[in-house]
Amino acid sequence: MQVIEDPTAFQQTCRSAGRVVLVPTMGALHEGHLALIRRAREVAAGEGTVAVSIFVNPIQFDRPGDLAAYPKPLEADLAACEKEGADLVLVPKDGAMYAADRSISITESLLSKHLCGATRPGHFDGVCTVVLKLFLLSHATAAVFGEKDFQQLAVIRRMVRDLNVPIDIIGHPTIRESDGLAMSSRNVRLLPEHRRDAPRLRQALIAARDLLPYGERSAATFVETARRHLTASPFFRVDYLEVVDAETLQPVAAIQRPAVLALAGFYGEVRLIDHIGLHP
Ligand code: PAF
């Protein structure tokens, strides 16, 4: 496995590497990321190259404290990449990804209006900009993303469609802890009592989804059911709880087509997200 710090050197290596499958990450790799790398290994098969990027992208953070607290266990991350069969890892040096006077960025203006886009100004511009750069640097023909960040995945698919980016986007199902908490690099920052409380996020979503077989279709009822579970927590602070169309990510009042109940919130300063599909 080759570790490259200079984005231009990475680009040159990828250009001569044949078929590249990319896994963009911000490091602090957990089982969820490892599943993405394994999937990339399958897609690349024996002859293709699996490239992983590890870059805590400053322009997608809306809270400086969140950026500063983001874990960076680089040695463990590199060992994990090697173990899962990555061939190339890009770990850009500080300042190497963005020119000091950069003046171009990518903006998505529909799917990012709600959910995380509404409460994290500039977040998806930052994601789109770095992801497009990573696509261009890696020459990848496919890239694997976790479905946990389903809004991110939808926005990236839209960017690829609207800008004709020649790449296949592969979504991989959310990996969960045994108690149902979605794996996230932020989970290690939870206080023990918050970590014990956190399975309630998944439970709240399931309690709402379980109304579907009884014929419930009202978005407000799904939201209220989940909210009751969440507000019973002495710790958790809801950021948003919303039912949106699964494709357009626009809020819906009633479930007539596949929809998603999405939530975000805080334990202290730690922001967690999760979602569940509502299929009528
Ligand atoms: O999902 C993430 O870890 C990041 O948003 C990504 C896609 C690597 C872009 O920085």
**What number is the average pLDDT over the span 24-46?**
97
> Rounded to two decimals, what is the model's pTM?
0.95
Residue nearest to atom 8 of ligand 1 (CA): 25
Return the CATH number of 185-273, one of 3.30.1300.10, 3.40.50.720, 1.10.3720.10, 3.40.640.10. Answer: 3.30.1300.10
| pLDDT-based confidence at residue 264 (cuts at 50, 70, 90) | very high
Q: Assess whether the C-beta atom of 184 lies below 6 angstroms from ligand 1.
A: no
For residue 254, report the distance from its CA to the centre of ligand 1, in Å: 31
Q: Is 91 in the pocket of ligand 1 (CB under 6 A)?
A: no
The pLDDT tens digits for 201-231 are 999 999 999 999 999 999 999 999 999 999 9
Pocket test for ligand 1, best of 131, 175, 271 (most atoms within 8 A of CB): 131
Question: Bridge-partner residues for 195, per DSSP?
Answer: none
Closest CA to 17 of 43, 51, 42, 45: 51
Q: Is 123 a catalytic site residue?
A: no
DSSP, residue by residue, 60-129 = G-S-HHHHHH----HHHHHHHHHHTT-SEEE-PPTTSSS-TT--------SGGGSTHHHHSTTHHHHHHH
What does the alpha-carbon distance between residue 155 and residue 119 come to, in Å, rounded to a whole number? 16
Q: Any idea what the Cα angle at residue 148 is, between residues 164 and 30, rounded to 5°?
A: 110
Q: Is 60 in the pocket of ligand 1 (CB under 6 A)?
A: yes
Domain extents for the chain?
2-172, 185-273
> What are 106-130's pLDDT values in tens digits?
999 999 999 999 989 999 999 999 9
Ligand 1 atom nearest to CA at 149: 1
Q: What is the mean pLDDT of residues 29-55?
A: 97
Residue with CA nearest ligand 1 atom 6: 25
Task: Indicate if ligand 1 lies below 6 Å from the C-beta of 134.
Answer: no
**pLDDT computed for residue 275 by the predictor:** 98
Among 36-45, 48-57, 60-69, 137-146, which stretch is predicted with the lowest mean pLDDT?
A: 60-69
Give the angle 77-3-189 at the CA atoms, nearest 5°.
Answer: 20
Domains 2-172 and 185-273 share a fold: no
Index of the ligand 1 atom closest to the CA of residue 131 = 9
Ligand 1: nearest atom to the Cα of 26:
3
Superfamily of domain 2-172: HUPs (3.40.50.620)
The rounded Å distance from CA 128 to ligand 1 centre is 9
What is the whole-number distance in angstroms between the Cα of residue 234 and the centre of ligand 1? 30
Confirm or reject: Cβ of 205 under 6 Å from ligand 1.
Answer: no
DSSP state of 7: H
Among protein residues, the one with the nearest Cα to ligand 1's atom 5 is: 127
Grade residue 271 by pLDDT with cuts at 50, 70 and 90: very high
Q: 26: CA distance to ligand 1 center in Å?
A: 6
Structure confidence at residue 265 as a pLDDT band (50, 70, 90):
very high
What distance in Å separates the CA atoms of residue 252 and residue 170, rounded to the nearest whole number?
26
At position 250, the amino acid (one-letter code) is Q
